[in-house]
Amino acid sequence: MIANILRTETADKHKELESLMFVDEIMNKSLTIEAYKKLLTINYIIHQKLENKLANMLDVDVANKLQMADRLKLNALEKDLEYWGIDRFTLPELNFDLFVPDKTTPAVLGALYVLEGATLGGNVIKKQILANTNFQHSENGLHYYGVYGDELGSKWKSFVSVLNETVQEADPEACINSANNTFDNLIKLSRQLH
């Protein structure tokens, strides 16, 4: 199953990214509003640059199986930026070359694995942030981390199912490389904005 291989092959990048994305502060409820704004900015910039490209690069049948239109998160991120007073039109330009996967299904699914996986902990992150005294009464600024709501588990299972059935006979290396390079996009941007 490619999903299990991806988890193993991207574990180092995942840990590196977590160290840059305030995970400890989120979990011990010490996250500051400024740090949260950085998280939103990082996620917004990456989604703004990749989300629609990836969706449009998918084969129509794979996009339909994934119900891709229901997986777009840019609108939720825009609502959060607006709530927190972040002007999305004045965000910094990237100081690195953004990785965009080849237009092959395995490569696109590898990149989507990272973006979809980022929402997997969303409900826990949202709960931890709301328990932080810095964020009392701030639920309207947490759309991204609650983007799937009660459908989170079923959305992830559906994604993994499509990933496993689509990539198993295709090119697993393209999928793995794309996932690692997408993690690198997030890591590089996190470093740029810290």
The per-residue pLDDT for 18 is 94
CATH code of the domain covering residue 88: 1.20.910.10
Dump the DSSP string for 26-65: HHTT---HHHHHHHHHHHHHHHHHHHHHHHHHS-HHHHHH
Closest CA to 98 of 58, 50, 41: 50
Q: pLDDT at residue 123 above 80?
A: yes
Residue carrying structure tokens 């629609």: 52
Express each pLDDT in 77-97 by its tens digit.
999 999 999 999 999 999 999
Total residue length of the chain: 194
Q: Name the residue range of residue 113's domain.
A: 2-193
Asked if residues 10 and 176 have their Cβ atoms less than 8 Å apart, the reply is yes
The per-residue pLDDT for 170 is 65
Q: How many domains does the chain have?
A: 1
CA separation for the pair 10, 187 (Å, rounded): 13
Closest CA to 129 of 142, 113, 117, 114: 142
Closest CA to 51 of 108, 10, 122: 108
Express each pLDDT in 128-153 by its tens digit.
999 999 999 999 999 999 999 999 99
The per-residue pLDDT for 168 is 77
- Residue 116 CB coordination number (10 Å): 20
